[in-house]
Structure 1
Amino acid sequence: MAFQPGKLDEDPLLSYNVDVCPAVQMDNLDDCDSCFQVIFPQDVLRLRAETRQRAQEWMEALKTAANVVRSSEQNLQVTLRSKPKDQMDGHELRKSKRQSVTTSFLSILTTLSLERGLTAQSFKCAGCQRSIGLSNGKAKVCNYSGWYYCSSCHVDDSFLIPARIVHNWDTSKYKVSKQAKEFLEYVYEEPLIDIQQENPMLYLHAEPLAAVVRLRQRLKSLRAYLFSCRAAVAEDLRRRIFPREYLLQQIHLYSLADLQQVIEGKLAPFLGKVIKFATSHVYSCSLCSQKGFLCEICNNGEILYPFEDISTSRCESCGAVFHSECKEKSVPCPRCVRRELQKKQKSFWQRLNMDESLEEACNMFELSYQNT
Structure 2
Amino acid sequence: MNMTELKEVKANLTSELAYVLKQATSEYPSGTAVSKESTQILCNTIEALFIHGLKAAFFLKKQRSSKYPEPNFWPFVCKYTHKAVLDQIAASNQIKTEVGKSRAWIRILLNENVMDNYLVVLSRDTSTLSKFYEKWAFLRDAERVNILSDYMKGLTRLTLEAPVNSYLLNTWTPTPLILSGLMSGKPARCESYFHIHNFFFVVYLYFLELVSIYSHPSMLNEGSMSLSVLDQVNSSLVSYPVQESSSLSCGANQVAIFLELDIYLSDEVLIEMLTVIPHEKGLDFQSFRCPSCRKSIGPTFASYSKCSFDEKYYCVDCFDGAGESVIPSRLIHNWDKRSRRVCKNNMIFIESIRDKAVLRIDRINPQLYEHSHALNTVKFLREKLSLSATYLLTCRKSVAEDLESRLWPKDYLYRDIHLYSFSDLLTVLSGHMESHINHLLNFTIKHIQRCLLCAQKGFICEICSSSQVIYPFQLEITTRCLECFSVYHKNCVGQNRCPKCIRRERYSQQRPIFASHCLLFDMD
TM-score by length of 2: 0.50
Give the match for residue 446 of structure 2: 280
Give the match for residue 326 of structure 1: 492
Q: Deviations over 1:331-364 (max 9, x none)?
A: 21011112222332335568999xxxxxxxxxxx
Give the match for residue 33 of structure 1: none
Give the match for residue 263 of structure 1: 429
Q: Deviations over 1:287-344 (max 9, x none)?
A: 000101111222223211011111111122222111111132x221011112222332
Question: Structure 1: which amino acid aligns with 2:492?
Answer: C
Q: Tell me whether 1:343 sits opposite 2:508 in the alignment.
A: yes
Q: Distance in 2 between matches of 1:243 and 1:88?
A: 39
Decide whether aligned partners of structure 1 residues 211 and 106 sit closer, same or farther in structure 2, where only a CA change above 3 A counts: closer
Q: Tell me whether 1:107 sits opposite 2:272 in the alignment.
A: yes
Q: Distance in 1 between matches of 2:408 and 2:256?
A: 34
Counterpart among 431, 447, 456 of residue 290 in structure 1: 456
8 Å contact 1:102–1:183 — kept in the other structure? Answer: no
Q: Distance in 2 between matches of 1:163 and 1:351?
A: 63
Offset at residue 146 of structure 1 (A): 2.0
Q: Distance in 2 between matches of 1:94 and 1:342?
A: 67
Q: Distance in 2 between matches of 1:160 and 1:320?
A: 43
Q: Tell me whether 1:183 sits opposite 2:349 in the alignment.
A: yes
Give the match for residue 305 of structure 1: 471
Counterpart among 291, 307, 319 of residue 126 in structure 1: 291
8 Å contact 1:105–1:180 — kept in the other structure? Answer: no
Offset at residue 268 of structure 1 (A): 0.7
8 Å contact 2:292–2:314 — kept in the other structure? Answer: yes
Decide whether aligned partners of structure 1 residues 259 and 231 sit closer, same or farther in structure 2, where only a CA change above 3 A counts: same
Give the match for residue 37 of structure 1: none
Moved more, 292-301 or 182-191: 292-301
Q: Distance in 2 between matches of 1:107 and 1:194?
A: 12
User: Percent identity of the aligned residues?
Assistant: 33
Give the match for residue 313 of structure 2: 148
Give the match for residue 224 of structure 1: 390
Moved more, 138-147 or 189-198: 138-147
Decide whether aligned partners of structure 1 residues 351 and 164 sit closer, same or farther in structure 2, where only a CA change above 3 A counts: farther
Unaligned regions of 5+ residues in structure 2, if any? 1-26, 37-162, 166-198, 200-231, 239-247, 519-524
8 Å contact 1:164–1:170 — kept in the other structure? Answer: yes
Offset at residue 152 of structure 1 (A): 1.2
Q: Deviations over 1:156-187 (max 9, x none)?
A: 42011111111111111111111110011001
Offset at residue 13 of structure 1 (A): 2.4
Higher share of residues assigned helix: 2
Decide whether aligned partners of structure 1 residues 351 and 210 sit closer, same or farther in structure 2, where only a CA change above 3 A counts: farther
8 Å contact 1:105–1:145 — kept in the other structure? Answer: no
Q: Distance in 2 between matches of 1:215 and 1:274?
A: 10
Higher share of residues assigned strand: 1
Q: Tell me whether 1:169 sits opposite 2:332 in the alignment.
A: no
Offset at residue 117 of structure 1 (A): 1.7
Moved more, 214-223 or 308-317: 308-317
Q: Distance in 2 between matches of 1:144 and 1:173?
A: 11
Q: Distance in 1 between matches of 2:358 and 2:256?
A: 26
> What is the total number of aligned residue pairs between the two structures?
289
**Structure 1 segments of 4+ aligned residues over 4 angstroms from their partners:** 70-73, 85-92, 97-106, 347-353
Give the match for residue 26 of structure 1: none
8 Å contact 2:271–2:358 — kept in the other structure? Answer: no
Q: Tell me whether 1:13 sits opposite 2:33 in the alignment.
A: yes
Q: Distance in 1 between matches of 2:395 and 2:511?
A: 36
8 Å contact 2:326–2:337 — kept in the other structure? Answer: yes
SS of 1:299's equivalent in the other structure is coil
Q: Tell me whether 1:93 sits opposite 2:246 in the alignment.
A: no
What is the root-mean-square deviation of aligned Cα atoms in Å?
3.6
Q: Tell me whether 1:209 sits opposite 2:229 in the alignment.
A: no
Q: Distance in 1 between matches of 2:35 and 2:379?
A: 35
